[in-house]
Chains A and B, each alone.
Chain A
């Protein structure tokens, strides 16, 4: 496979990973805390907050790598223009 195509595929995989981390960061899969109870703590924070922050830290790493793999042409006239 050509290096440019390999870079493009790797970039796509990284971006899929970023989107998955964003979906995981929102605690939609957790039951709401019953009144009078507290969620468990992790790293000193409510566990769902710590999970969200870890997801965002991992997303930053993947997205940063994806930008370094992004090919931006200088001055070519391509794309979705009509």
Chain B
């Protein structure tokens, strides 16, 4: 049986299983409250929490974008293992302070923290809405990247039997179905299964690739003959970009709404601590593996263009499946693992988007079942918009990831600085956020993505933080005069 046939059968079975999970999750719900729908009633234990964090963090970007970028850049993309690990390091600045407050005050969305920390005056409300809007735009961009990855993977592995557009529309519809029906429970349970599939699948593919090539040393030898510049020690600008990417990923990823909501959703502090302790090793078992796959593709798939490089993974799966029927089944498992990882990220994004827009942007009450219904409707509208955009092509997956993170990183002071600096006021924080975002927009309008290797978004964050601190200081100086 050929890979396309096996791919279609595997896809059909997987989708049926997802419908089953959604129905079971719907039966398990306690009530219609946002807390139950968006946070699974705050009862995620260490194991499910670990796998849902894992499947959410490792997305279409990791499975298609990272091998593509490793193929394009060569060995300097070893930085990917570092920047994915940096996320779990930066969580030290967020989790120990945010988690106790989230439990005590029953936070559901990131905006609940902003409301609690800064109050309800005009500047605080404007800050909460600004943070929520930035998060929403970044999340919509993230969703778009996942939809593109789903379409590409499905079309390649089914040999075009399921075309790109049908893959995008059909799978987006499926995500919307199980997320609407089962909420965070359905998302977390499917994430857990998807995380396991991904781990096994990637390991098997890498073992085959390295076995075929004669090991890591032989692969490096062939790359040296084809692209010797890929082995060179990076220059100063590339090293600056390496540091900048670690800062960008590490800082921006901890303010992902879906990551913050998993901190809220943990059953206990102990579960959260254990899950994060294990998560720190996942870049070595996943990011490093997909990076090695991208490097191994350099001699196997020569001459791919910038956009074509994102399809390194499905092309390798196609080659692998041609070895024999047993291997074809394994290749379909890898395909399902990759698709599962992408869908698990997309479903988490969609769930967070619904809650952030309903509560933080539109100001709906967090305990009202009507807010849950509104969140579901918003998720539907956003999905339709993202599907339309995903049907037009242009940016690489890595390009989409960078744009999203550079926006999201402007929210960092409202969380990390606010958690650690009591004096930070809402007006100062809002001024900083506006300055950082304007800097980023101006750089984008001028076509400047990096300055001396540093991302415009990382420089924007420095501007953002400096303005927030200066404005807070000026505000405190002016306050006694006004009082006098």
Contact = CB atoms under 8 A, between A and B. Distances in A.
A38 B228 contact: yes
Interface residues of B, number: 61
Contacts of B335: none
Nearest to A68: B277
Contacts of B86: 22
B239 A28 contact: yes
Contact of B278 (A26, A33, A41, A64): A64
A80 B419 contact: yes
Given A18-B89, A68-B273, A76 B96 contact: no
Instruction: Report whether over half of chain B's contact residues are helix, strand or loop; otherwise say mixed.
Output: helix
A44 interface: yes
Given A44-B215, A70-B273, A73-B100, A82 B422 contact: yes
Nearest to A67: B277
B75 interface: yes
Contact of B97 (A32, A48, A80): A80
Contacts of B424: 80, 82
Contacts of B425: 82
A53 B78 contact: yes
Contacts of B92: 15, 66-67, 70
B124 to A, nearest CB: 10
B92 to A, nearest CB: 6
Interface string B1-30: 000000000000000000000000000000
Interface residues of A, number: 47
B7 to A, nearest CB: 33
Contacts of A59: 82, 85, 89
A32 B234 contact: yes
A64 B277 contact: yes
A59 B300 CA distance: 32
A39 B216 contact: no
Interface in B267-298: 268-269, 272-274, 276-278, 280-281, 283-284, 288
Contacts of A38: 224, 228, 231-232
Contacts of B104: 75-77
The CB with the most chain A CB atoms within 10 A, among B101, B224, B419, B425, is that of B101
B458 interface: no
Interface in A1-58: 15, 18-19, 22, 25-28, 30-33, 38-39, 41, 43-46, 48-49, 52-53, 55-57
B452 to A, nearest CB: 13
B235 to A, nearest CB: 5
Contacts of B234: 27, 32, 48
A60 B85 contact: yes
B75 A78 contact: no
A70 B224 CA distance: 44
B290 to A, nearest CB: 14
Nearest to B77: A49
B449 interface: no
Contacts of A82: 117-119, 422-425
A45 B220 contact: yes
Interface of A: 15, 18-19, 22, 25-28, 30-33, 38-39, 41, 43-46, 48-49, 52-53, 55-57, 59-60, 63-68, 70-82
10 contacts: A32-B234, A32-B236, A39-B232, A39-B233, A52-B81, A56-B81, A63-B89, A72-B273, A73-B96, A79-B100
